[in-house]
Structure 1
């Protein structure tokens, strides 16, 4: 495992240089910095707790935009014949985002020691697992340049999708939050005053308003208990999802969520089919290709189930029949796999399947973006309508009472 070392030294201009670097031993750090013309005067290993701190969820991660830029640049340099080490060194020097620059520097050191790129990225720890599995497939199939270019396109598309969702949700979410705050302020401050006024004129309060006041009073008395209970429940669920069984159940649940589940299944099939196509096209046997493609599913539940299918295929069963045992594989995809097995062109059928489901996934995503805003607006309308309903009943009753008095 990589250790962190804090160092201080002088560069070729005589300037003092300080920093922190990851490597296996102190000697590796000194040799690497010497190549950069930095002479060390002091070096010390940092406490192992710093490695744990780097895994904290709120730490800044490498953005999809930066990942796209990195993979596009790496693909371009590999395509013109630049070696991996030279490409990483050049990109690291030109990269502006600090987090990505340091990550590339650490990967460069590991590749320099003889580690493959995928393992170096895995040890470094900041790159997404999907990109690591993809690079590993590229190294084994001999199509690393193609895989790296596809990763650039993938992260560029993911970044565009994220900004589309962000743009579509910004205004509705702002309206919802504002409406909720106004609604809560009305319930806590204005409604009790209004009901006191109504009580001074008449003894009766509308049943809906009375129940709402009783509910608010209950929340005020026991609010701290509900807060602690909700926090404990959320923490328990979070910790459970970090266990092996909990992770599988959580990802199984996500596959059955309306709209989101279908998008995840389509995404999973696109990358699984594309990876299987590349591996089969490189001459890798079907069983080995299936085992290497499992990581592209990015779903522990599906991976666990599919490993059993691979064992059955190894025992002589047909892949398409094994896929029929699971509901997460669409019937169309299973039929395409079966046709590929019959014709002996499973590689070509996987290419068609990945293109088909990629188009369907993009189309469904665009439809989801179009539907999000009206759905949120309807929610706001229901919230405002309920607030008006709560207000209008006491007002009408107050007006009737005043009319009777007059």
Structure 2
């Protein structure tokens, strides 16, 4: 890996969060609809925002607008806004409907944020249970078990193999916990950064999408995001070919992106989008059928939106079912872990009592 790539692993992502992007688009849309000029609206938002990155970017955007650069180009050069926002703002500027496009963008990011929050809420409980299990295990083997074992040894008892293993683990954690914590954090950071690179995604996404249960969730999420993005773009007047390219990149999955890129060339040659997506073997049959209906009826954006609704709902239901099934498994696992520690404590105690008897 090159030095620049290594530095890139630790470089902070400058992209604006989905929530902040939704708030910015909604506020700007309201100001423009009220008749406030674009420059004045941006200056007002720059003064009131608590996001430092956004404030600095807005100052640069205002400066570029004053020099005659288009709003879309200034957004692109800031590097803070996602591609779908830049593309739709460009269409809004050309069509003279910037406030309408910003309203659609705000709705898009608000829905994206709501979907992410539902998934995050569903996964919070399992994460908390796992964290409690790890903390409990660490406390028992680090503090409780050594104290009880010393009492057993004073009474003349011997330490069984299970207890000796637990003791060694506790001593190791006590002696090396700073290095262990640092290693875990460093490994997590490097893993997240590496998985976020395009080459890694192209290698891993085809594998992830084939995983049992989890692969279905990844596929549903990517398909839903693709349909929602393409629906929003088509609604605001973005040409279907440009919309496919942007929607593929915004799907967050390299498999979907590759299928969308291949579809661009075939749709440009006059083929039906539904037929092209069917041949890709990536998109579910339900989505392809809804797209076919939308193409025949001239309501492609509407049908894509409904497909997105369907898969966003299916993703949420699948995650909730998975969490429901995981709860008893996690409880049993946590109970087994605690039981293992208790046995490692009770075994030497029983041995001492037996020797006394």
**TM-score (norm. length: structure 1):** 0.65
- Is 1:248 equivalent to 2:190 in the alignment? no
- Residues 320 and 334, structure 1, Cα contact 8 Å, conserved in 2: yes
- 2:91–2:237 CA contact under 8 A, matched in 1: no
Equivalent position to 2:137, from 175, 183, 186: 183
Cα distance change on mapping 1:375 and 1:151 into 2, 3 Å: farther
Bigger relative contact order, structure 1 or 2 (CA pairs below 8 A, ≥6 apart): 2
- Kept in 2, the 8 Å contact 1:141–1:284? The answer is no
2:23 aligns with one of 42, 54, 69:
69
Instruction: Name stretches of at least 5 consecutive residues in structure 2 with no aligned partner.
Output: 1-6
Greater radius of gyration (CA): 1
Q: Deviations over 1:188-214 (max 9, x none)?
A: 344345445545666754443344446
- Asked whether the equivalents of residues 209 and 216 of structure 2 are also in contact (C-alpha less than 8 Å), the reply is yes
Normalized against structure 2, the TM-score is what? 0.72
The counterpart of 1:353, out of the listed 307, 319, 325, is 307
Q: What is the root-mean-square deviation in Å for CA atoms of aligned residues? A: 4.6
Quickly say closer, same or farther: Cα 1:385–1:166, change in 2 above 3 A: farther
Could you say if the C-alpha distance between residues 78 and 179 of structure 1 is closer, same or farther in structure 2, counting changes exceeding 3 Å?
same
Cross-structure match for 2:346: 392
Q: Contact between 1:165 and 1:369, CA under 8 Å: does it hold in 2?
A: no
Matching residue of 2:247? 293
CA gap of 1:141–1:307, structure 2 versus 1, over 3 A, is farther
Change in Cα spacing, 1:276 to 1:196, as seen in structure 2 (3 Å) is: closer
Question: Greater share of strand residues, 1 or 2?
Answer: 1
Counterparts of 2:183 and 2:10, CA distance in 1: 24
Q: Which residue of 2 aligns with 1:109?
A: 63
Q: Could you give the per-residue CA deviations for residues 270-319 of structure 1, whole angstroms, max 9, x where no partner exists?
A: 44334434555566654344334333323344313431232244455543
The 3 A distance-change label for structure 1 pair 391 and 266 is: same
Q: In the aligned structure 1, how far is the partner of 2:177 from the partner of 2:91?
A: 53
1:21-54 Cα distance to aligned partner (Å, 9 max, x none): xxxxxxxxxxxxxxxxxxxxxxxxxxxxxxxx99
Contact 2:84–2:246 (CA<8 Å) still a contact in 1?
A: no
> Hey, what's the Cα distance between the residues in 2 that align with 1:326 and 1:392?
60
1: CA distance, partners of 2:309 / 2:122: 27
Equivalent residue number for residue 121 of structure 1: 75
CA distance, structure 2, for counterparts of residue 95 and residue 226 of structure 1: 39
Check conservation: 2:225, 2:251, Cα contact below 8 A: yes
SS class of match (1:393): helix
Alpha-carbon separation, structure 2, partners of 1:67 and 1:131:
9
Q: What are the Cα deviations for residues 162-186 of structure 1, in whole angstroms up to 9, with x where unaligned?
A: 6667777778766755653443243
Whether the aligned pair in 1 keeps the contact of 2:231 and 2:305 (CA below 8 Å) is yes
Residue aligning to 1:337: 291
SS at match of 1:298: coil
Q: Distance in 1 between matches of 2:183 and 2:13?
A: 27
Contact 2:88 2:238 in 1 (8 A): no
The Cα of 1:333 is off from its aligned counterpart by 0.8
Aligned residues: 351
**1:18 matched to which residue of 2?**
none
- In 1: Cα distance, 2:54 partner to 2:8 partner: 14
In the TM superposition, residue 70 of structure 1 has moved relative to its aligned partner by 1.7
Per-residue Cα deviation, 1:223-254 (whole angstroms, up to 9, x for no partner): 99988987886676456446532132344455
User: Which range is displaced more, 68-77 or 236-245?
Assistant: 236-245
Displacement after TM superposition at 1:104 (Å)? 1.8
Separation in structure 2 between the aligned mates of residue 107 and residue 134 of structure 1, nearest angstrom:
17
Match in the other structure for 1:304: 258
Structure with the larger helix share: 2
Q: Quick one: distance in 1 between partners of 2:11 and 2:39? A: 31
**Does the Cα contact within 8 Å between 1:320 and 1:338 map onto a contact in 2?**
yes
